[in-house]
Copies of this chain bind each other. A is one copy, B any other.
Amino acid sequence: MREYRHPQITEVQLESVLYALSDPIRLSIVRQLAREGEASCAALENGRPKSSVSHHFRVLREAGIIKTRNDGTSRINGLRDNELAEVFPGLLPAILAVRS
> CB distance A95 to B18 under 8 Å?
yes
Q: In the complex, which residue of chain B has the Cβ closest to the Cβ of A63?
A: B22
Chain B nearest CB: distance from A15 CB in Å?
A: 5
A83 interface hit (Cβ, 8 Å):
no
In the complex, the count of this chain's copies comes to 2
Give the size of the chain A interface in residues (CB under 8 angstroms): 20
A94's partner among B15, B89, B98 (CB-CB below 8 A) is B89
Known: A21-B18, A22-B15. A90 touches B90 (CB 8 A): yes
B residues near A21, Cβ cutoff 8 Å: 15, 18
B residues near A14, Cβ cutoff 8 Å: 27, 95, 98
Binary contact track A13-31/B, C-beta < 8 Å → 1, others 0:
0111011011110010000
